A = this chain, B = another copy of it.
Amino acid sequence: MNGNKVKVDCCEVNIIHEDIVKKVRENMPDEDLLYDMADFFRVFGDSTRVKILHVLFQSEMCVCDIAALLNMNQSAISHQLRVLKGARLVKNRREGKVVYYSLDDEHVKQIFDQAMAHLKHK
């Protein structure tokens, strides 16, 4: 008896295993948290930002040095640093005209390592 088929009002989807669905639904995290997680990961989902983070793993750096290193113009880097800062992944400090960026998170490295492990494993 693992569940009758039931029409859901909104979108004509059959539920085959009603008991499992009910159980899982009760244990789902808060909707907002799931959105925040997706937003957080989206920040890593761009190669320019991944490169910037890798650079900052190695050394604090100013904007124009990063731009030169990645062969991109300063504006593009600045835009992406803004995104990274918005996600609280980097912080910056000003020294005269130069702004230095560095990592502002203790989890990023571990997340990267896990991802690396995944990519290299299979």
28 contacts between A and B (CB under 8 A): A13-B64, A14-B64, A15-B65, A16-B62, A17-B65, A20-B59, A20-B61, A21-B65, A24-B69, A25-B69, A27-B58, A28-B51, A28-B69, A29-B54, A36-B119, A37-B44, A37-B112, A40-B118, A41-B44, A41-B45, A42-B42, A42-B45, A44-B45, A107-B118, A107-B121, A110-B110, A110-B114, A114-B114
The DSSP consensus for interface residues of chain A is: helix
- Complex CA–CA separation, A21 to B105 (angstroms): 22
Q: How many copies of the shown chain assemble into the complex?
A: 2
At the interface, yes or no: A115 with Cβ under 8 Å from chain B? yes
The reply to whether B71 and A37 contact each other, CB–CB distance below 8 Å, is: no
Q: Contacts of A88 on B, CB cut-off 8 Å? A: 118, 122
- Tell me which residues from 21 to 75 in chain A have a Cβ below 8 Å from any Cβ of chain B: 21, 23-25, 27-29, 33-47, 49-51, 54-55, 58-59, 61-62, 64-65, 67-69, 71-74
- Complex CA–CA separation, A38 to B51 (angstroms): 9
